[in-house]
């Protein structure tokens, strides 16, 4: 495999670069099976085609090369990524494009903001109810 795999804690991803260090795709993200936190380290066994990804809380996820698909070694789930030994061709790149990854992050941010807005609204309503109760006591 002539690609470079990078563990990026800042984006909580495993990325694939070409031999000139140009970004190709995101292989694994926190939405991938077995990646619960940012990846802290990688090891690739070329003999057995196994990728080991270490992440927070002493978690080690092991992926193996199966019919050109990577799957978690210790479960029956399969990741939606491919590794190819074929010459570089953009349609063979596994994982997410930069655009898809950014859209995914934007959606996560939107969901967090909406959850915060709903929580703040409930807090405000609770405070209003409390004030109404206090007003009834002193009337």
Mean per-residue pLDDT of the chain:
74
Using CA atoms, how far apart are residues 11 and 105, in angstroms rounded to an integer? 10
Q: Give ∠ CA 33-51-89 in degrees, rounded to 5.
A: 90
Asked if residue 4 has pLDDT above 80, the reply is yes
CB of 49 closer than 8 Å to CB of 55: no
Taking the CA atoms of 130, 132, 135 and 136 in sequence, report the sign of the dihedral they define.
negative
φ, ψ at 98 (rounded to 5°): -60, -45
Q: Which of 70, 72, 41, 73 is nearest to 54 (CA)?
A: 41
Asked if residue 39 has pLDDT above 50, the reply is yes
Q: What is the pLDDT of residues 97-121, one digit of tens each?
A: 778 878 888 898 999 999 999 999 9
Give percent of the chain above pLDDT 90.
12
Q: How confident is the model at residue 86 (pLDDT cuts 50, 70, 90)?
A: very low
Asked if residue 70 has pLDDT above 60, the reply is no
CB of 38 closer than 8 Å to CB of 12: yes
Asked if residue 73 has pLDDT above 50, the reply is no
CB of 21 closer than 8 Å to CB of 6: no
What tokens appear for 68 in the block?
């050109």
Q: What is the pLDDT of residues 6-15, one digit of tens each?
A: 888 888 888 8
DSSP E strands in 57-128: the ranges are: 59-66, 69-72, 78-82
Asked if residue 65 has pLDDT above 80, the reply is no
**What pLDDT, on a 0 to 100 scale, did the predictor assign at position 92?**
41
68-94 average pLDDT score? 41
């Amino acid at each position: 495999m002539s690609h470079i795999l990078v563990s990026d804690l800042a984006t909580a991803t495993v990325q694939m670069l070409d031999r000139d260090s140009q970004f190709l795709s995101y292989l694994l993200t926190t939405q991938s099976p077995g990646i619960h936190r940012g990846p802290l380290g990688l090891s690739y066994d070329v003999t057995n085609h196994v990728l080991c990804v270490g992440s927070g809380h002493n978690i080690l996820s092991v992926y193996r090369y199966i019919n050109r698909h990577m799957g978690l070694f210790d479960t029956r789930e399969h990741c939606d990524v491919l590794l190819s030994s074929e010459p570089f061709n953009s349609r063979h790149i596994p994982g997410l494009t930069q655009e898809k990854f950014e859209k995914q992050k934007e959606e996560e941010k939107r969901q967090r903001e909406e959850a915060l807005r709903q929580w703040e609204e409930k807090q405000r309503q609770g405070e209003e109810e409390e004030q109404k109760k206090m007003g009834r006591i002193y009337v």
